[in-house]
């Protein structure tokens, strides 16, 4: 079974060809990071226009790299949401055009499901699964009883964790995207500064906006008092607080749900080196659970994961028709 996957929910135009759910025949990712770096973050209108410019080339290149034509494709999968609405529309319209021009089934896919199923590219997921999705737009803990059921146990009440990394990096003048820069700087520091601990109501929910403001207030206070501070120590203090917020919730879920067999991570923030260390700590604490953090190429936005998700959705019978439209706040 050959699926072409299309992803355009944020600032990457991506097209991939995936065979039999696991084998990536080609994967093209046109990143817009250089353009958005100039603005210090993703500008939605600019992002959608660049998707329009890139999408046809990415489709052509993905087919060429896979050494196939549209005749060989069994279905067209596309990220329907969530994401930036103008960006999503570009991918959805392209997928509809391909599907109807070549008489292929159209399969709408949820972006978060894509991040979770990316793990299938490196491991066979064992259900029930607990998935942690940490990206620039999402922070969620998802329980999957089986391959096609998704229950959101916890989610952020305000900013996504990647957004908090990016905003704190901006306060520290590190540039965009901030996550990798904070990760690198934090390695040279110690978590010596006390920042506001996040407060949330739900046992499994997250909050990052208070922590982000606390970093801003700290820098302003230092400036007012004419004091200097160590940037690396501040980056490290922020990163430890943000990850403590994540891992205290992960432990709570693992303690409460003894049936979980596999813990997987998805989304751009899973590239974080300290997060990866903390998953290793969990491995020792919960020896009965399997832990997977996929390699970088599966973590950040890509279309291979949409190809995998599309294969699973296609086999479960999901189809889109001519009235399919992008949905910026699509429920999983
Ligand atoms: O999944 P992704 O590529 O795009 C979506 O948001 O869907 O994630 C991008 C996010 C950005 O916020 C970026 O700063 C963050 O992932 N990120 C990191 C690291 N690498 C990327 N955050 C922390 N540490 C990293 N090493």
ipTM over the 0.85 cut-off: yes
Per-residue model confidence (pLDDT) at position 32: 85
Is 266 near ligand 1, meaning CB less than 6 Å away?
no
Is 208 near ligand 1, meaning CB less than 6 Å away?
no
Per-residue model confidence (pLDDT) at position 111: 96
This prediction's pTM: 0.93
Is 83 near ligand 1, meaning CB less than 6 Å away?
no
Residue 120 DSSP label: G
Domains of the chain by range and CATH? 2-117+298-315 (3.30.420.40), 125-293 (3.30.420.40)
Question: Does 149 belong to an annotated binding site?
Answer: no
Measured from the CA of 111, which atom of ligand 1 is nearest? 7
- Closest to 236 (Cα-Cα) out of 176, 194, 269: 194
Helix runs in the chain, H state only? 33-37, 44-66, 85-101, 111-117, 161-171, 178-186, 209-224, 231-256, 273-285, 296-299, 304-315
Measured from the CA of 137, which atom of ligand 1 is nearest? 6
Q: Which of 300, 303, 304 to mutate to test the pocket of ligand 1 (most atoms within 8 A of CB)?
A: 300
Is 10 near ligand 1, meaning CB less than 6 Å away?
yes
How far apart (Å, rounded) are the C-alpha atoms in residues 268 and 278? 16
pLDDT in tens, 63-95: 999 999 999 999 999 999 999 999 999 999 999
Backbone angles phi, psi at 209, to 5 degrees: -70, -35
Per-residue model confidence (pLDDT) at position 158: 95
Atom 14 (ligand 1): residue with closest C-alpha? 179
Structure token digits, residue 146: 């089986």
Q: In what order do the strands lie in the sheet with 290-292?
A: 151-155, 139-144, 129-134, 262-266, 290-292
Is 159 near ligand 1, meaning CB less than 6 Å away?
no
CB distance 7 to 304 below 8 Å: no
Structure token digits, residue 264: 């997987």
Is 137 near ligand 1, meaning CB less than 6 Å away?
yes
Structure token digits, residue 65: 């790299």
In the beta sheet, which residues pair with residue 237?
none
Residues of the chain with pLDDT under 70: none
pLDDT in tens, 244-265: 999 999 999 999 999 999 999 9
Measured from the CA of 161, which atom of ligand 1 is nearest? 12
The SS3 call for residue 129 is strand
In the beta sheet, which residues pair with residue 133?
140, 266
């Amino acid at each position: 079974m050959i699926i072409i996957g299309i992803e355009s929910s944020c600032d990457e135009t991506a097209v991939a060809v995936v065979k039999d759910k696991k084998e990536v025949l080609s994967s093209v990712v046109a990143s817009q990071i250089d353009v958005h770096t100039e603005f210090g973050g993703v500008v939605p209108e600019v992002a959608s226009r660049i998707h329009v410019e890139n999408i046809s080339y990415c489709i052509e290149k993905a087919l060429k790299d896979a050494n196939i034509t549209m005749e060989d494709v069994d279905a067209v999968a596309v990220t329907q949401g969530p994401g930036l609405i103008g960006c999503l529309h570009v991918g959805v319209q392209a997928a509809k055009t391909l599907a109807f021009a070549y008489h292929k089934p159209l399969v709408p896919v949820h972006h978060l499901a894509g991040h979770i199923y990316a793990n299938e590219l490196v491991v066979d997921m064992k259900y029930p699964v607990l998935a942690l999705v940490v990206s620039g737009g999402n922070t969620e803990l998802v329980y999957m009883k089986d391959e096609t059921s998704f229950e959101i146990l916890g989610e952020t009440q305000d900013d996504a964790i990647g957004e908090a990394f990016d905003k704190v990096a901006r306060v520290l003048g590190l540039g965009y995207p901030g996550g990798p820069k904070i990760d690198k700087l934090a390695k040279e520091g110690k978590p010596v500064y006390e920042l506001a601990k996040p407060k949330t109501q739900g046992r499994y929910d997250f909050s990052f906006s208070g922590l982000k403001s606390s970093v801003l207030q700290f820098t302003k206070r230092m400036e007012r008092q004419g004091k200097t501070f160590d940037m690396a120590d501040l980056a490290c203090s922020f990163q430890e607080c943000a990850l403590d917020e994540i891992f205290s919730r992960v432990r709570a879920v693992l303690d409460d749900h003894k049936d979980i067999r596999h813990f997987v991570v998805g989304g751009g923030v899973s590239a974080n080196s300290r997060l990866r260390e903390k998953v290793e700590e969990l491995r020792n604490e919960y020896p009965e659970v399997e832990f997977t953090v996929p390699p970088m190429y599966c973590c950040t936005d890509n279309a291979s994961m949409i190809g995998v998700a599309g294969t699973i959705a296609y086999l479960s019978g999901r189809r889109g028709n001519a009235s399919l439209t992008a949905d910026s706040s699509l429920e999983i």
